[in-house]
Structure 1
Amino acid sequence: MKASTFMYGLLAGSVTAAVTVLFSTPQSGREIRSSVKSASTDMKLKLNDVKGKISELKDSVTHMTKEAKELVPDAVQDVKGSIEQWQRSTEKNKQRLEKEISAIQQSLAELEQSIAAQQK
């Protein structure tokens, strides 16, 4: 959401609230003008505060984006390096397991042949 859209919505809501209060209040004109002036001053302060917070948020997002662009590629490279190192370190175990599985499969095949020969 753009900040200008937010500000337009905030302004429209404020005007609507002010008009509603003016029509529903039992105060005199002088009291209403005083209240409107006070509310206007408060609204300006709040609006300036919101603008400041939006500016801070924008700066924070910009800073985080910059940091992410710098840090994420390094982190990805580190993870890739770790995976490659793990694959190299497990290669011997993988080959040993493949040999053992092959030996077990061969033993099962011999056992099946032996059982088939005994049944004949």
Structure 2
Amino acid sequence: MANAKSLALGVLVGSAAGALATLLSTPSSGRDVRFRVKQQGLEWKELADSVKLDGLRLKRQIAETSKEGAALMNNLTKEMKKSVEEWKHAVAPHQQNIHEYLEQIEASLRDLEDKVNKK
């Protein structure tokens, strides 16, 4: 904590000293320097405002996209459940036939094994 305070104080004092040295060694008049600093400050403020607005737009867009995605996933889930139920309903009458056909194949295989073993 003390190191952070020392660092902050050092940055502040260094910045002030640098600004003072720049003002004293500049070939322009004080009025020109103040005007340029003011203009630069306004440009930075505009840039910060622009970044802030872009961030807010991005935040809103992410929220909207998230809501749309959730709704899309909800609809997709419902459609998939409906499709699975329809498939189950379509396959149900044929399940017994498939089961009987598999039993016939198994019986045929047992008969074939018995014939092979008897020879």
Q: TM-score range by the shorter chain?
A: 0.5 to 0.7
Query: What is the TM-score normalised by the length of structure 2?
Result: 0.61
Q: Give unpaired runs (5+ residues) of structure 2.
A: 1-14
Change (3 A) 1:109 1:43: same
CA shift for structure 1 position 68: 4.3
Highest CA radius of gyration, 1 or 2?
2
Equivalent in the alignment of 1:46? 47
Secondary structure, counterpart of 2:38 in structure 1: helix
Q: Deviations over 1:18-48 (max 9, x none)?
A: x6x9689x85354554443222111111111
After TM superposition, give the deviation of residue 69 of structure 1 in Å: 4.7
State the match for 2:110 in structure 1.
109
Q: What's the CA shift for 1:71?
A: 4.5
- The equivalent residue for 1:28 is 27
The 1:94–1:34 alpha-carbon spacing in structure 2 relative to 1, beyond 3 Å, is farther
Q: CA deviation at 1:110?
A: 0.6
Identity of aligned residues (%): 21
* Residues 1:105 and 1:28: Cα distance change in structure 2 (over 3 Å): farther
Q: How many residues align?
A: 98
Shift of the alpha carbon at 1:54? 1.4
Aligned pairs for 1:19-98 (under 5 A) are 27-28=26-27, 30=29, 32-98=33-99
Q: Secondary structure at the match of 2:59?
A: helix
Greater relative CO, 1 or 2 (CA 8 Å, sep 6+): 1
CA distance in structure 1 between the aligned counterparts of 2:113 and 2:77, rounded to whole angstroms: 50
CA change 1:46–1:113 in 2 (3 A) is same
Distance 1:86 1:92 in 2: 11
- What amino acid does structure 2 have at the position aligned with 1:60? Q
Q: CA deviation at 1:108?
A: 0.8
Cα distance in 2 for partners of 1:95, 1:50 equals 67
- The two structures, once aligned, show a CA RMSD in angstroms of 3.0
CA distance in 2, matches of 1:93, 1:33: 89
